[in-house]
Amino acid sequence: MSASMLMMWVSFAGMFALFLAIGLILLSRYKLKGIFAAITALLAYIFLVAGGLIIAFVVLRGPTS
């Protein structure tokens, strides 16, 4: 697998983590209550930070040849 193809899959993983974070935030705010909402929100913010770091890594790495 080439480096470009690998970076494409890494960026897809980052985007998936960001979409998952959106869904978990909405779930924790509008559907869950109490400790379940807190755990889900914490998990969502972990996915948000991880996805943001992955996308930043892909963007800052620059083009591959």
| Neighbouring C-alpha atoms within 13 Å toward the C-beta of 7 | 14
pLDDT at residue 63, as a whole number: 87
pLDDT at residue 62, as a whole number: 86
Give whole-number Cα distances, 41 to 11, 12, 34, 65, in Å.
23, 22, 11, 39
Rounded percentage of the chain residues whose pLDDT exceeds 90: 88
> In which domain, by residue range, is 54 found?
3-61
pLDDT at residue 64, as a whole number: 78
| Positions in the chain whose pLDDT score sits under 70 | none
Say how many domains are in the chain.
Answer: 1
The H or E element spanning position 10 is helix 3-30
The pTM for the full model equals 0.88
